[in-house]
A and B are shown apart, each in its own frame.
Chain A
Amino acid sequence: MNVNIVLSLVAVVVLGALAFLGGSAPVLQGVFGIMIPYIAFVMFLGGFIWRIMKWAKSPVPFRIPTTCGQQKSLPWIKHAKLENPSSGLGVMGRMALEIFTFRSLFRNTKAEIKGDRISYEWEIWLWLGSLAFHYSFLAVLVRHMRFFLEPVPAAIKFLEAADGFFQIGLPIVMLSGVILFAAAGFLFARRVATPRLRYTSLAADYFPLFLIMAIALSGMFMRYFLRVDIVAVKELTMGLATLSPTIPANIDPFLFVHLFLVCVLFVYFPFSKLMHAGGIFLSPTRNMANNNRAKRHINPWNPDLTFVTYEKYENTFREKMIEAGLPVEKES
């Protein structure tokens, strides 16, 4: 068994157990239900901004987009506007496709030795898996806003209705939760099943996957099997959102497992690879127009030198030049 997998799994299990023990002790419910969520929120938002602003300090002297198509050129040569954008609009289109449809992943290929030659094949599963993962996670996150908003906006009720469209069982199964768990499971299985991927996978790759799987599982367990008192849960979360936190009397201790794991994810987020959520906006090979030739880009750290022009030189030395018989442009 791979040590990275075991360590990550043990870490998630220990964290969950810790939260269950803490949540079961009435004295510690304030810590797990109020203190830690606030700390997690501040660390998430603060850490996120800190990380982005650190990246924002990087100078951008020159355009380095990856060009995957024909550059804007002569009018009769067809310009690939998205693959090689020449303007801000093209860049916005390219970035939107990247952020909303993960276009770079769509182009994923795998190299394999077949017989005596290497063959490259289009590999779509990573793209499908991550699309399912990210969109179901988004749906889950937005659906959870029902716990933090009062009255609940119609848009969130609509999303809930769409998510439970098939009306399976009661409480109605929310498809996004199931897909989230399945997709995270697939992304994990993918890392384990492919030897090259397993070799390059670290604990930092497995831990967030296990954490998110544990969050999804604990949430589904509460909704479908424990059926915790949802009014008490909302009382707790609304207390947090209105800055007047309380611990309701009949809160289920298992809620703290879910809540604490979410807090761990929030704290972990800005300091880990999960920051690709913010980083994708700053991908230098995607977010720049390829206008290196069309526009002049001046290096921002060029030293401020004073140059001597020939005119100035001649002005200084004109008399001596005339004396020595050298040709001058102006006689006086």
Chain B
Amino acid sequence: MSDKGKIVVGVAIFAALVSFPFWYNTGTAKPAPELIIAPEAKAAGACVLPKDQMAKEHMQLLDGWRNSVVREGQRVYVAESGKQYAMSLSNGCLECHTNKADFCDKCHEYASVNPYCWDCHVNPKEK
């Protein structure tokens, strides 16, 4: 005797598992999201940091702000240009970036990043 029958079943399950992404995505895959910058943000002209730096470091910046506000009571951020900003997600960032769904959520969802900002903060537009 040999166990070929059972082994073939096992190999078939393995092949189905390994190729899972190929048949899971057929027909449903969306293209990568385009970032939409709200008119208010465009009008403001510049963010607290240059654009590419924001793209890479916004999470660390916000993490730093959180610690600064909550633990040190320091609520003012001074940008390189000397301009002062309130360290606030709902009343700072979202004042210009009024389109949370298109500006934050789209990419986060696409990349399965689940920031816990919104566990506490609210989007003032959604109140």
Within 8 Å by CB of A157, from B14, B60, B62, B112, lies B112
A103 within 8 A of B: no
Contact with B along A147-188 (1 / 0, CB 8 A): 011111000110011000001011100000000000000000
B81 within 8 A of A: no
CA A281 – CA B14 in complex, angstroms? 12
Task: Collect the chain B residues with CB atoms within 8 Å of residue A59's CB.
Answer: 1-2
Task: State whether A167 and B116 are in contact (beta carbons under 8 Å apart), knowing that A45-B19, A59-B2, A60-B3 are contacts in the complex.
Answer: yes
B113 within 8 A of A: yes
Query: How many residues on B have C-beta within 8 angstroms of the other chain's C-beta atoms?
Result: 39
Determine whether the beta carbon of A242 is less than 8 Å from that of B1. no
Determine whether the beta carbon of A241 is less than 8 Å from that of B1. no
Expressed in whole angstroms, the minimum distance between the Cβ of A189 and any Cβ of chain B is 31
B118 within 8 A of A: no
A230 within 8 A of B: yes
Q: Which A residues fall within an 8 A CB radius of B?
A: 44-45, 48-49, 52-53, 55-61, 145-146, 148-152, 156-157, 160-161, 167, 169-171, 227, 229-235, 238, 241-243, 248, 278, 281-282, 297-298, 300
Other than A152-B112, A235-B31, give 15 A-B pairs with Cβ distance below 8 A.
A44-B18, A45-B18, A48-B14, A53-B7, A56-B8, A146-B111, A148-B25, A149-B25, A150-B30, A169-B63, A229-B56, A230-B113, A241-B29, A243-B22, A300-B2
Determine whether the beta carbon of B110 is less than 8 Å from that of A150. yes
Contact with A along B1-42 (1 / 0, CB 8 A): 111100110110011001111101110111111000000000
Residue of A nearest to B18 (CB): A45
B55 within 8 A of A: yes
CA A260 – CA B60 in complex, angstroms? 29
CA A151 – CA B105 in complex, angstroms? 13
10 tightest CB-CB pairs across the interface, nearest first? A148-B21, A146-B112, A152-B112, A241-B21, A235-B32, A170-B63, A56-B7, A170-B59, A230-B111, A242-B29
Task: Collect the chain A residues with CB atoms within 8 Å of residue B111's CB.
Answer: 146, 230-231, 233-234
Expressed in whole angstroms, the minimum distance between the Cβ of B26 and any Cβ of chain A is 7
Task: Collect the chain A residues with CB atoms within 8 Å of residue B29's CB.
Answer: 150, 238, 241-242
Residue of B nearest to A244 (CB): B29
CA A229 – CA B31 in complex, angstroms? 16
Determine whether the beta carbon of B28 is less than 8 Å from that of A297. no
Within 8 Å by CB of B56, from A45, A150, A227, lies A227
Ordered by A's residue number, 8 sampled pairs between the chains whose C-beta atoms are within 8 Å are A44-B18, A53-B11, A60-B2, A150-B28, A151-B109, A231-B33, A238-B25, A242-B25
Q: Which of B57, B62, B111 has the most CB of A within 10 A?
A: B111
Determine whether the beta carbon of A45 is less than 8 Å from that of B32. no
Residue of B nearest to A48 (CB): B14
Task: Collect the chain B residues with CB atoms within 8 Å of residue A238's CB.
Answer: 25, 29, 32
Determine whether the beta carbon of B7 is less than 8 Å from that of A145. no
Determine whether the beta carbon of A58 is less than 8 Å from that of B2. yes
Residue of B nearest to A169 (CB): B63
